[in-house]
Amino acid sequence: MKAHFQVITLFPLMIETLFGEGVVGQARKKGLIDLSLINPREFTEDVHKTVDDRPFGGGDGMIGMAEPLWQAWQKARAQDSETELIYLSPQGETLTDTLVKELALRPRLTLLCGRYGGVDQRLIEKTGAREISIGDYVLSGGEIGAAVLIDTISRQIPGVLGHADSAVRESFAGGLLEAPQFTRPREWQGLSVPEMLMSGNHAKIEEWRRWVSILVTLAKRPDLSKLEELSRKERQKLRQFFEGLSGQDKVLLGLEDLASEELDG
């Protein structure tokens, strides 16, 4: 399944720069991802190439004019008749791992980036654009939001990530954070690496990482953890595992504040 992203933006270089290299840049070279940039300025008729104007009723910022954006959308549709329009805005549905996976099922998307005060609402109405927000904060333009969508969806496309492809893609599924990672040297500024990771026993290491993942999620993002889905037996095993960690490992893993009582019940 090949992805096709089209981005309607006054600043195409922002997007082209970000995705000229890195994981997405490589995937474009392999032909797994197409990226088209459409500049609404292309569709202006006046000498000043006007794409925005002051808001009716007054207020700060400039508003993207409906007609150049409409023409840009027609171009996107001409290039991909099945593309769907997404408008990046703080008013949209919040992006989550679940929504990323849903969008990745049909990755033929046109991302509309507003600037300044946003775009004329009649354009949103006429196009039926789906509004998505990348989080509860305001950006100076939709480009960074569009980039977040392109990056997160691309990681779901088979072949885009390295070997461990699906394993890496699944890392957030199940609502668990990853266990902390370490590399050479074995000792750095008086700190060593958890002994288990040096054991060479891959099955044991994977089991250890899974328990650490559960603990790290509980400690740092209790809102994500689905600990209530663990059985009583698993919870008991988790508590034993936590109590068996060395003091230094608890510190290294960021678990020093997690009390074993939190694993009760």
The site for ligand 4GN (CB under 6 A) is made up of: 88-90, 114, 118, 133-135, 137-139, 141-142, 145
Nearer to ligand 4GN, 112 or 218 (CB): 112
Output the smallest distance, CB 120 to ligand 4GN, in A: 11
User: What is the spatial distance between Cα 147 and Cα 151, in angstroms, rounded to a whole number?
Assistant: 6
For residues 105-134, one letter each, b for 16 or more C-beta atoms within 10 angstroms of the residue's C-beta and e for the rest, the string is eebbbbbbbbbeebbbeebbeebebeebbb
Output the smallest distance, CB 137 to ligand 4GN, in A: 6
Output the smallest distance, CB 150 to ligand 4GN, in A: 13
Nearer to ligand 4GN, 125 or 195 (CB): 125
Output the smallest distance, CB 48 to ligand 4GN, in A: 22
User: What is the spatial distance between Cα 26 and Cα 24, in angstroms, rounded to a whole number?
Assistant: 5
Nearer to ligand 4GN, 139 or 212 (CB): 139
The residue among 170, 162, 120, 157 whose CA lies nearest residue 35 is 157
Output the smallest distance, CB 148 to ligand 4GN, in A: 8
Distances (CA, A) of 188 to 181, 182, 194, 245, 256: 14, 11, 13, 20, 20
User: What is the spatial distance between Cα 260 and Cα 166, in angstroms, rounded to a whole number?
Assistant: 33
Nearer to ligand 4GN, 139 or 179 (CB): 139
Nearer to ligand 4GN, 37 or 252 (CB): 37
User: What is the spatial distance between Cα 204 and Cα 201, in angstroms, rounded to a whole number?
Assistant: 5
Nearer to ligand 4GN, 137 or 233 (CB): 137
Output the smallest distance, CB 146 to ligand 4GN, in A: 9
Nearer to ligand 4GN, 103 or 245 (CB): 103
Residues 93, 99 contacting (CB under 8 angstroms): yes
Output the smallest distance, CB 124 to ligand 4GN, in A: 10
